[in-house]
Amino acid sequence: MTVSNAGGGFIGPAPQGSECQSGQATYALTVATRAFTWQVCQTAVAAPYTWASGQKVLEQTELDDLVTALKAVTLSMRDTCGADKSTLTLEVMTPSATHDYLDDFYACNHAGVYVTGIDELLQVSAGLSKQ
């Protein structure tokens, strides 16, 4: 699985010389090996934003927490849109197919399959990248 925050929403521009935008992050998990990787935009006051990346093998309890958050992502029937939120996506790869999902905050765009729960999955992923 790969869960991403593409940034965007109602935020100011990044400082000149930045490599990324505030909020941008990507977290990936390979369940079979428990390999967890991340790339996160690091922000600092009055300094250009830079990418920070890392990897680790998850402990069983960490894997359980992440899988629980992933299982909580559900299909959405929402058909409305909010405003000013970053773009969140989820890609789930199985042996037979790859499935792409979009955060239902912008469901009125009718651009794909919409789900709810990506925010929580990103929150758990971010927490694991800091441990």
Q: Is 127 helix (H, G, I), strand (E, B) or coil?
A: helix
Number of neighbouring beta carbons within 10 Å of residue 60: 8
| Percent of the chain whose predicted confidence (pLDDT) is above 90 | 87
Question: Within the chain, how many helices (H) and strands (E) appear?
Answer: 2, 8
Mean pLDDT across 71-88: 93
Position 131 confidence tier, pLDDT thresholds 50, 70, 90: low
Length of the chain: 131
Domain extent, residue 106, equals 2-129
* Tokens coding 55: 């990897």
**Position 23 pLDDT exceeds 80:** yes
* Tokens coding 65: 């927490």
Task: Let me know: does 38 contact 27? Beta carbons within 8 Å.
Answer: yes
Distance separating alpha carbons of residues 54 and 12, to the nearest angstrom: 27
| pLDDT score of 9 | 80
Counting the structural domains of the chain, the total is: 1
The model carries a pTM of 0.93
